[in-house]
Amino acid sequence: MKQGTIKKLTDRGFGFIDTGGGDLFFHTSALQNAEFEDLKEGQVVEYEDEDSPKGRKATSVKVV
């Protein structure tokens, strides 16, 4: 799995992961071992990524 840090969280149930090579969108439904409300900007996460109709997105997001 790839690693990154949570860059930004919104109050609408999605956020962005800083991958070191750009930002990657993730939705609360992609979380594996955490609740969206418990996430904090700067936390390290592991993730998979895939293509979506709107570009790349993170899947299987897990807090490290």
- What percentage of the chain's residues is helix, strand, coil (to nearest 5)? 10, 60, 35
Q: pLDDT by residue (tens digit) across 39-62?
A: 999 999 999 999 999 899 999 999
CA distance 36 to 29: 9
Domain 2-63: give its CATH superfamily.
Nucleic acid-binding proteins (2.40.50.140)
> Given this model, what pLDDT does residue 20 score?
94
